[in-house]
């Protein structure tokens, strides 16, 4: 039975609440997504088609079939363009024989895997997003993978993502990215079943999280984040939503989360989404996300350059909420909880200051060295809350926590910190399988020395020039209760793609972690049943 609980401040906030509710029901994107469909393999007589090309050696059947139908025009055009078929590359050609458009996607020399199929689908989706063709047909006659067509469609949904609800459009001409994307495959019914039941829910959840992150901070703030979440989970069975407002957090003595939000006119919230897909007595998996809807740095204010991007500092909260949304929609056999620690970090006369001492919900205290180390501040109260209330067997927090993780790992990996080798190995494996990869970094005992305070139990940051990502993880780990398998994911290097787009992660918000955590549940919890 779905239960909704809310402790929401109503006094003197009706206009803001009505605006937030209106925002929650806005369409999530103005750029239409192509509708996926599946059909038996055949080469259409005309229109827009997508084929794959190997790097060297014998060409794929679909490539040869389209080349034959075009009287050799495809192979001549590819040779003229010096296209080699390297993995992750694509070439779009127009007027190839009877075809208005042919997109050729390089598959390299790699064996067929779900990740390869998702990359191929993503490049097809990206081509579809910029094409005005009313129908595109992705030709994949290869057999040998029951859900192959579903993985192609999943990749297409990831790769075609665009956000444009604030762009003014004029005229009635056909717009790109609309229509159908038909995957022509040897077993369309198996592909359709796998897509509908297993992969479309995850694709929709990635889109939900990307939309949340991309929205500006005047639209998504703690209260409207809650409203968007309620709308997304409407009519999803097995879900309970709980929201803690400021008075509720004050009663629980969550002074750490409150300290971050007290400088903003927009009050903080703690959002808890519980999904029950396993027996009631089974301990849940808890995902806790940093939800700083805008991070100015507070009194320790950030430089102005690129501060606009700090709307993305709630990616962790969007990721964990999106993860549980996907689990619930695909009826995963797990009890899972998403906790979003939501606050806006702003400077004001009421803001927390460097040097302040904060007592957390657990009773542990820390001294603020920087109000720009606010992510760990909201996480520790949220983590303590879910541990005391729900007794999870696994606790994973997700946060755009530090710039230093980007220095260490670039934009190829997110940082993984854990004291539990089995959990770390499971997450590393899930990262490789999903394409959202992690690199394990140390939690050295010496980091405790960096966090010593002369007047409190800890400081919220270490000395400059130290291992910032590890020190931040060590601080968070001080609030993990004995016996709880815990991992911290610092995704600051992966949450926003600028000039480093990947096939399944276009430019902008990536929602990094939704696919990773879904794969972790599939392979290491559900598979264990």
- Residues in binding site for Mn(2+): 290, 295, 313, 372, 374
Query: C-alpha 18: how far from its chain's center?
Result: 28
- Residue burial 467-490, b: 16+ Cβ < 10 Å; e: rest: bbbbbbbbbbbbbbeeebbbbbbb
Distance CA 147, CA 154 (A): 10
Distance CA 90, CA 50 (A): 10
Query: Residue 334: CB partners within 8 Å, gap ≥ 6?
Result: 275, 277, 278, 284, 285, 327, 521, 525, 526
3-state secondary structure of 460: coil
Query: C-alpha 469: how far from its chain's center?
Result: 20
Distance CA 419, CA 403 (A): 22
Query: CA angle 361-485-376, nearest 5°?
Result: 40
DSSP 244-298: E-HHHHHHTT-HHHHHHHTTSSS--EEEEEEEE-S-TTSPPEEEEEEEEEEE--T
Residue 132 bears catalytic tag: no
Residue 3 bears catalytic tag: no
Query: CA angle 166-169-170, nearest 5°?
Result: 155
Structure-block tokens of residue 248: 């509720």
Angstrom CA distances, 3 to 44, 233, 241, 437, stand at 49, 11, 7, 35
Distance CA 213, CA 207 (A): 10
Could you say which of 302, 359, 389, 440 is catalytic? 302
Could you say which of 269, 311, 330, 376 is catalytic? 376
Query: Residue 301: CB partners within 8 Å, gap ≥ 6?
Result: 347, 372
Distance CA 208, CA 206 (A): 5
DSSP H helical ranges for 44-113: 61-69, 73-80
Q: Which residue has the tokens 């972690």?
A: 513
Distance CA 53, CA 143 (A): 16
Residue 199 CB neighbour total at 10 angstroms: 26
Distance CA 135, CA 226 (A): 37
3-state secondary structure of 50: strand
Distance CA 371, CA 369 (A): 7
Q: Active-site residues: which are they?
A: 302, 376
């Amino acid at each position: 039975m779905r239960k909704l609980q809310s402790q929401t401040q109503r006094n003197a906030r009706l206009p803001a609440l009505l605006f937030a509710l209106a925002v929650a029901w806005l369409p999530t994107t103005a750029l239409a997504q192509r509708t996926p469909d599946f059909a038996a393999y055949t080469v259409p007589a005309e229109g827009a088609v997508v084929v794959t090309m190997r790097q060297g050696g014998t060409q794929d059947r679909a490539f040869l079939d389209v080349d034959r139908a075009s009287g050799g025009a495809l192979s001549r055009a590819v040779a003229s363009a010096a296209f080699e078929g390297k993995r992750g590359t694509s070439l779009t050609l127009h007027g190839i024989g009877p075809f208005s458009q042919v997109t050729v996607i390089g598959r390299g020399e790699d064996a067929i895997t779900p990740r390869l199929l998702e990359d191929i689908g993503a490049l097809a989706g990206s081509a579809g997003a910029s094409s005005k063709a009313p129908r595109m047909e992705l030709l994949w006659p290869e057999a040998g993978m029951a859900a192959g067509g579903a993985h192609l469609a999943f990749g297409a949904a990831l790769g075609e993502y665009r956000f444009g609800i604030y762009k003014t459009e004029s005229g009635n001409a056909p717009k790109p990215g609309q229509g159908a994307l038909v995957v022509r495959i040897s077993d369309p019914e198996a592909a359709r079943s796998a897509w509908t039941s297993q992969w479309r829910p995850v694709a929709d959840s990635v889109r939900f999280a990307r939309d949340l992150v991309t929205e500006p901070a005047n639209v998504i703030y703690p209260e409207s984040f809650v409203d968007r979440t309620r709308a997304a989970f409407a009519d999803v069975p097995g879900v309970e939503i709980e929201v803690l407002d400021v008075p509720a957090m004050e009663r629980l003595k969550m002074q750490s989360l409150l300290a971050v939000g007290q400088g903003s006119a927009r009050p903080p919230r703690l959002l808890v989404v519980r999904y029950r897909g396993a027996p009631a007595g089974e301990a849940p998996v808890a995902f806790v996300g940093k939800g700083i809807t805008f991070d100015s740095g507070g009194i320790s204010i950030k430089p102005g350059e690129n501060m606009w991007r700090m709307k993305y500092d709630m990616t962790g909260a969007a990721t964990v909420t999106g993860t549980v949304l996907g689990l619930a929609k695909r009826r995963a056999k797990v009890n899972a909880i998403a906790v979003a620690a939501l606050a806006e970090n702003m400077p004001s006369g009421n803001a927390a200051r460097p040097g302040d001492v904060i007592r957390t919900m657990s009773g542990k205290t820390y001294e603020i060295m920087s109000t720009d180390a606010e992510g760990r501040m909201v996480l520790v109260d949220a983590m303590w809350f879910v541990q005391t209330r729900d007794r999870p067997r696994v606790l994973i927090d997700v946060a755009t926590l530090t710039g230093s993780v980007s220095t260490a790992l670039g934009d190829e990996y997110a940082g993984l910190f854990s004291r539990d080798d089995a959990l770390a190995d499971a997450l590393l494996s899930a990262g490789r399988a999903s394409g959202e990869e992690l690199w394990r970094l140390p939690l050295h005992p010496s980091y405790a020395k960096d966090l010593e305070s002369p007047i409190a139990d800890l400081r919220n940051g270490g000395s400059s020039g130290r291992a910032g990502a590890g020190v931040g993880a060590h601080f968070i780990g001080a609030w993990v209760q004995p016996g709880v398998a815990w991992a911290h994911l610092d995704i600051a290097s992966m949450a926003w793609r600028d000039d480093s787009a990947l096939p399944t992660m276009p430019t902008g918000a990536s929602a990094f972690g939704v696919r990773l955590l879904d794969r972790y549940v599939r392979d290491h919890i559900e598979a264990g049943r």
